[in-house]
Structure 1
Amino acid sequence: MLKTGSVYLVQFKDILKRIKTGFFLVTIVVITLWIDHILLPLVLLFFITFATNEYFRFWHRKDVFPHTLAVLFPGYTIPFLFYFDIPLLLPGFILFFFIALLSVMRFPGSRRNPNFLTEISANFFGVFYISILPSTIILLRKYGFCISLLPLVLTWIYDTFAYIVGSIWGRHRLAEKLSPKKSIEGTFVAFFLTFPFTVWLNSLWVKSFGLIDAVWITLGIGILGTVGDLFESGMKREVGLKDASNVFPGHGGFLDRLDSLIFNIPFFYLYFITRG
């Protein structure tokens, strides 16, 4: 069925809103990466605070209440461990013990139900998902401003192409129960549209990367970014939420806007240190 003019108008307005929100976030991120110094971990603390609140919101709707301090304290510590190049073995063990201790002190779980296993799992996963993965941007920034910007730019390019193509020509849903608007057409075509940008940006910023690297990076950014998006959507759908929060009106919260980057930044970091 062909889409009517009014449907296209609504989609166009939605795209404009996304562009405005994206421009705001891009500006903040670019300035932060450019200045670097202590500003980068401080901005990450800001993200971790809001993202943890959204993450807890998922669990609270399942009547599970992760320990706030058990997630936030390690979550706040990890960016500074990365920033100051502190060996992770001893601090990592201490943080592990800290999470375990707080969980044991609340046995058999908070509130009404005995949720010890669920809560301690939520604590550890929250630290990994909300702090460790995105904090790899600090490690990537040590190799240069442009290097740290590359996975962000490619993710935004891929997501934009996937959304535009899917909105106009998408007919088949990629994962309808998780993300009704994400189409197979948009997801697939975005790989080909993003690839020239990967080649071009690699030639400018990572001259050691060749054509094969551009292929793998484009595939990795597209696949892992899509999985990251669907992963966060899965958490929302399980608890009956459309958005993680309303920090960005009409466009959800921090996890909604940055879900792809949570997977793509560590992917690119690992690829870069292996191949760069």
Structure 2
Amino acid sequence: MMALNQAPHMLWYMLGAVFALLVIASVSSALLAWRYPQKNWLELRLRIRTWWWIVTVFVLAISVNRTVSLLVLAFVSFIAFKEYLTLVPTRRADHMPLFWAYLAIPIQYFWIWDGWYGMFIIFIPVYMFLFLPMRMVLVGDTRGYLHAASSLHWGLMTTVFSLSHMAYLLVLPTDVTGTMKGNGPMLVLFLVALTQLNDVAQYLWGKAFGRMKAIPLVSPNKTIAGFVGGVATTSLLGWLLGPLLTPMSPLYATVAGLLIGVTGFIGDVVMSGMKRDLGIKDTGDLLPGHGGILDRLDSLTYTAPLFFHYLRYLYY
């Protein structure tokens, strides 16, 4: 088990490896454009350029002090919730309920900053679930009420409650034995790295060996080979990285990788189902080459809360 005072060094080693991968990707993109100038490499260049921005913001979010990190992650939830509300139809009469829904974001992250787990875990699923429909009823307009209330709460649960579990990893208590339990940035790095690499692995396995579609009516590009290969790859990465970044043993880290691989796939297709229902391809254009912020966070809406509770049950 790694000592707590060694953890920051390992964190920087891992972040350095991430930046090295980006450098390799950028050089490879330039070489491909030089070697095959007749092909259009614009989307690939945009994706890599956006990844530079994403990784830079992510590094700042987890490497500064806890308050700054939580503010950055709260802002990510705000942008995700705002993007979601631009996609789903809302009623003009609900401007005050929408105000209260937005106000729930800083309150939810305040519970995290304060370390009040009990309020963190029930504030949105219980109190906001009961309060928002009541506030909408007071408007007096019942046309489209059920759809508006359910859409608002689902968005709040997905973009704020689910994603805020990633932030709570930063404030988990440190174990008195001096082990690396509670080194939040490393736990967040493990979660985010495996979630994003799972997406990449499923894409590559699907392109290389994918024949049978997994859920053709929801996400035609998802294949069974991509799913199986991605989950296997993520489980292996969990086994390799878990003992370095988390308090987990190799066995538990492998199970965590399996959990992230499976639930990351589910989060992706759930968001695809929403987009297909709305008749859109991407949730926005905030991230060139990727789409909207929800297109990048879709898997995390499932992996963040499930990994958090798995880790907390075992070690906290």
**TM-score of the aligned structures, taking structure 2 as reference length:** 0.74
**1:94–1:155 CA distance, 2 compared to 1 (3 A):** closer
Residue type of the alignment partner of 2:269: L
Query: 86-95 or 33-42, which moves further after superposition?
Result: 86-95
* Match status 1:108 vs 2:141: yes
CA distance in 2 between counterparts of 1:94 and 1:189 reads 41
Q: Counterpart in 1 of 2:304?
A: 265
1:76 and 1:131 in contact (8 A); partners too: no
CA shift at 1:167, angstroms? Answer: 2.3
CA distance in 1 between counterparts of 2:269 and 2:127 reads 33
Selected match of 1:31 from 34, 39, 60 = 60
Query: 232-241 or 38-47, which moves further after superposition?
Result: 38-47
Residue type of the alignment partner of 1:275: L
CA shift at 1:134, angstroms? Answer: 0.5
**1:179–1:15 CA distance, 2 compared to 1 (3 A):** farther
3-state SS of paired residue (1:274): helix
1:48 and 1:76 in contact (8 A); partners too: no
* Match status 1:232 vs 2:271: yes
Selected match of 1:183 from 217, 223, 242 = 223
**1:16–1:159 CA distance, 2 compared to 1 (3 A):** farther
* Match status 1:85 vs 2:88: no
Query: 92-101 or 25-34, which moves further after superposition?
Result: 92-101
1:64 and 1:118 in contact (8 A); partners too: no
The answer for unaligned runs of 5 or more in structure 2 is: 1-35, 172-181
1:75 and 1:130 in contact (8 A); partners too: no
* Match status 1:124 vs 2:157: no
CA shift at 1:18, angstroms? Answer: 3.5
CA shift at 1:88, angstroms? Answer: 1.1
**TM-score of the aligned structures, taking structure 1 as reference length:** 0.84
3-state SS of paired residue (2:140): coil
Counterparts in 2 of 1:94-173, with a 5 A limit? 95-96=128-129, 98-109=131-142, 114-142=143-171, 143-144=182-183, 145-173=185-213
Q: Counterpart in 1 of 2:238?
A: 198
| Superposed CA RMSD | 2.5
**1:94–1:259 CA distance, 2 compared to 1 (3 A):** closer
Cα deviation per residue 1:61-108 (whole Å; 9 max; x = unaligned)?
A: xx7666421321112321111111235189666645542342122232
Question: What is the identity percentage for the equivalent residue pairs of Structure 1 and Structure 2?
Answer: 26
3-state SS of paired residue (1:252): coil
3-state SS of paired residue (2:222): strand
Length, aligned pairs only: 261
1:70 and 1:123 in contact (8 A); partners too: no
CA distance in 2 between counterparts of 1:261 and 1:138 reads 12
